[in-house]
Amino acid sequence: MDTAFFSAHLVRGLTDKIYDKRKSAALLIEKLVRENEKAPAHITEIIDTLVQDFVYSNNSNARNGGLIGLAATAIALGPAVAPYLDIIVPPILSCFSNNDSRVRYYACESMYNIAKVAKGEVLRFFNSIFDALCKLAADPALTVKNGADLLDRLIKDIVSELSTTYVSAHDQPLNPAEQQDSTDPPLVVPNSLPRNTAFSLPRFIPVLRQRIYVRNSFTRQYLVSWISVLDSIPDLELVSFLPEFLDGLLNCLSDPSDDVRVATSELLKEFLNEIQEAAAARDQQEKPPTQQQPRKRSTDESAPPPPLSSSPASAPGSDAATAVAASGPEETQETEESKDEATLGPDNDEHGKGTYVPGQGVIVQYERIIDILVRHLSSKEEHIQRTALEWINVFIVIAPHVVIQFTPKIILAVLPCLAHPVDVIRDTAKKTNKSLQHLVLATPTPAPPLPQPSPSVSDPSAAPSLGAQMSDAADAYPPALRRVYHSDVGRPSSTAPRSEDPFDYQITVSNLRLQFLNEHEETRVAGLEWLLMLHKKAPNKILASDDGTFPALLKTLSDSSEEVVRRDLQLLAQISSYSDHEYFRSFMMNLLSLFSTDRRLLETRGSLIIRQLCLSLDPERIYCTIADILEHDEDLEFASIMVQNLNIILITSSELGDLRKRLRNLDHRDGQRLFNVLYRSWCHNSVAAFSLCLLAQAYEHAANMLQVFAEMEITVNMLIQVDKLVQLLESPVFTYLRMQLLEPEKHPNLFKCLYGILMLLPQSSAFSTLRNRLSAVSSLGFFHVMPAKRYSRLTAATSTKQTEETPPIKFQDLLQHFKNVQARHERQRKQGK
């Protein structure tokens, strides 16, 4: 090699395969550099020779000699090596990826010696060094890993000591956030971050963002350790950049290595603590003494609060979901003009001076963080899912105005977790679900007043108003949620309403509808509970969502879970109570249509559905509406089956006790109207119509119906129904009827009805039961035929009294209607044969 400085002996020493000889040659280079340290051109020539002729040589021994020679040069120069680092460091770093493990090791050794001498100046090359070491963390050669580990520890020490203070005189500051990939989202840089130091966190974040998605456990351990080191440096405020690497960091929780998972978990806990400290600092700043800012308070008093309070340290143009913790009272007293002009506060200058307060000057990008967390709520990895749930729980308290915007997405992910097999995740999901419901209830809805429910016996308007309930319940919420509620409720009328609702009802309802398809009962029930709560809060918004919700609710009536069906019915009833008559009638028509197409549902759940609806709504309204629909139903077979079911429910259900009482009172207009409406529909089933007459004590008409029975074809199904009727006559519901048997002079037609039934029945247990009942009355001597004339007078007197009070029921017309309907059924049966 032709060089003025390197002798043949020196060249042979640097290229020797024996380490000791290369080391001896390095000592000669060290001596040579010291001799020329006042001649920069000579030093540059020496370095160029080492790089071009040795480091870049194809001979591995020569490369090793070049590396040790560069280290010797740096040692000889000492702190004066700074101007030459630009031509020393890159060649060494290129050897970190060499195929020869010995070259990689000696590159680490060389870089270690240079960093030990250069100290803060080496921070100018931090990104390149970090990236190179990141690759070596997973190196298969143990010696290389050990060498890389030594260098890594040294770089960490230098960063911890000098990253926020060391300013290089040999390079331009590399901190501006503008120097990043245009495809990446812009970095939000805290004002407190030093801007002219050799170490540049904004320049490093894109590198970290790229590397954080590696899957190798050793590399992940390396990355987590570095993030932890950077986070431990207060002035760097690494938490402000958390969205840039949080996604990949959460993925580290799924690593097969326990060490990686534990380290990642601890690091995430630390980040969450810092976010809570920043929120506490923000909340503290929201509570200034009343004597502060008197002019500003009077100006802004009527304005609605910002989504999240921010201090003057907020970066211009940052999104509304970015919160900056307060930096001190001096900044809070600035005018709006001074805040626009100032970039650094008195306690937050470029030197990091002032009293350190945990959380001050920290930018927390809540919206981006929550967006990342939501994506991990559905993770199949338990550790990731649990961590995301825990963070969301905390954010509901410290950033409710941001969380409310993500509630539809959170619900979609959280509700399936309510049935998670892991107890911790399931319990955390339940807590999250409950907190979200409190948050939604506590968030005012900028909507028109709620429509009043249509009048009914079970009208929910008798309950306290929703507003009163929410006001009373607000104090039970966590403090942050109480702030959300009280921030808008009770404001002066001059306050301009928000143009947009932070909570998207339509998307939420759509996402909740998807939960009906979930295989777990807990999730389906929770989805219906959400819809119940939302409808109570804003019925106009739920009803306005003409997106298939109502058909989905009807379909859910076929659910295998009885609890799901009950909640579904509760919601359907609640929706109906807030709707007009047309909507209610449409609901009943759809319900009957469902029963018609799904006969199994009618058999297994029909009674439950009708009874539950009667619990929530006015039973008379339900029965009259259904009766009116069935009266004109063309499907005669279904109408008969439906009437049969409704009749049994009417007779046996405790929920319909009041309705039965009104039916027995035919002396008043309400009872007559109810009987008329039900009877015309009940004619689809002869036994049900007969039962209705017994229930309403219309015994004379019931006796006349028996004459029609004699002319009809007595089917097996009809006999079965008569058998059931006899059993029902022995139930407590018909106690009054059995007692009337003791007064034959008042109720002669009752005996005729019962004996008529007895004549219809074949010899069976029901026949024996009814015969024994009638025989018991006869044996007591009560059964005798009353004079027809006296009965006529009694009937006439009753009719006269009834006519004076209310118009009489036109039983003759009803009997003719019964004949006509039964004739239609008879024709259909014959056609079907």
User: Tens digits of per-residue pLDDT, 368-398?
Assistant: 999 999 999 999 999 999 999 999 999 999 9
Residue 580: predicted pLDDT: 82
Q: Based on the domain organization, do 612 and 698 belong to the same domain?
A: yes
Q: Are residues 206 and 132 in the same domain?
A: no
Residue 790 in this model has a pLDDT that exceeds 60: no
Residue 360 has pLDDT above 50, yes or no: yes
The pLDDT value recorded for residue 765 is 87
The confidence score (pLDDT) of residue 218 equals: 96
**Which residue type sits at 575?**
I
Is the residue at 168 inside a domain?
Answer: no
Q: Is residue 75 part of a domain?
A: yes
- Do residues 567 and 586 both lie within one domain? no
Banded model confidence at residue 132, pLDDT cuts 50, 70, 90 = very high
Same domain, 573 and 585: no
Cα-Cα end-to-end distance for the chain:
114
* Residue 627 domain flag: yes
Same domain membership, residue 744 and residue 661? yes
Whether residues 724 and 739 fall in one domain: yes
Domain identity same for 554 and 587: no
**Average pLDDT, integer, range 360-372:** 90
* Residues 365 and 440 occupy one common structural domain: no
Query: What backbone torsions phi and psi does residue 293 show, to the nearest 5 degrees?
Result: 55, 50
Among the listed residues 465, 470, 387, 481, the one whose alpha carbon sits nearest the alpha carbon of residue 425: 387
What 8-state DSSP symbol labels residue 455? P
- Specify which residues 322 forms β-bridges with: 365
Residue 69 inside a domain? The answer is yes
What's the gap between Cα 672 and its chain centre? 51
Q: What are the angstrom distances between the C-alpha of 629 and each of 188, 238, 672, 677?
A: 64, 68, 19, 11
Does 406 map to a domain?
Answer: no
| Overall average pLDDT of the 565-569 stretch | 94
Q: Supply the CATH number for residue 115's domain.
A: 1.25.10.10
Instruction: Tell whether the model's pLDDT for residue 264 goes beyond 90.
Output: yes
- Judgement on whether residues 765 and 778 belong to the same structural domain of the protein: yes
| pLDDT greater than 70 at residue 535 | yes
Does residue 548 come out as left (phi exceeding 0), alpha (psi in the -120 to 50 range) or beta? left
> Sorting pLDDT into bands at 50, 70 and 90, what band is 667?
confident
Per-residue pLDDT at 229? 97
pLDDT at 495: 39
| Predicted model pTM | 0.77
Same domain, 560 and 683: no
User: What is the extent of the structural domain holding 103?
Assistant: 1-162
Q: Quote the pLDDT of residue 181.
A: 53
pLDDT in the model for residue 802? 45
Residue 350 lies in a domain: yes
Write down the pLDDT at residue 358: 62
Cβ proximity of 14 and 22 under 8 Å: yes
Specify the pLDDT at position 456. 40
Contact between residue 441 and residue 473 where contact means Cβ atoms under 8 Å apart = yes
At 9 the pLDDT is: 86
* Residue-level pLDDT at 45: 93
Residue 403 located in a structural domain: no
Residue 172 pLDDT grade (very low, low, confident, very high; cuts 50, 70, 90): low
- Comparing 807 with 805, the larger pLDDT belongs to 807
pLDDT tens for each residue of 591-624: 999 999 999 999 999 999 999 999 989 999 999 9
Give the pLDDT confidence score for residue 182 in this predicted structure.
52
Instruction: Indicate the residue among 533, 564, 579 that finishes a domain.
Output: 579
Mean pLDDT of 409-429: 96
The residue from 579, 603, 637 where one domain ends is: 579
Domain boundary among 564, 579, 594: 579
Residue 517 has pLDDT above 80, yes or no: yes
Q: Where are the alpha helices (DSSP H) in 557-598?
A: 562-577, 581-597
pLDDT at 830: 82
Please tell me the predicted confidence (pLDDT) of residue 188. 77
Cα-Cα-Cα-Cα dihedral sign, residues 213, 219, 220, 223: negative
CA distances from 512 to 19, 120, 248, 249, 371 (A): 71, 56, 29, 30, 19
Residue 97: inside a domain: yes
**How many domains is the chain partitioned into structurally?**
4
Rounded CA separation 90/92 (Å): 5
Mean residue pLDDT across the chain: 82
588 and 736 together in one domain: yes
Same structural domain, 478 and 614: no
> Residue with structure tokens 């729980």?
393
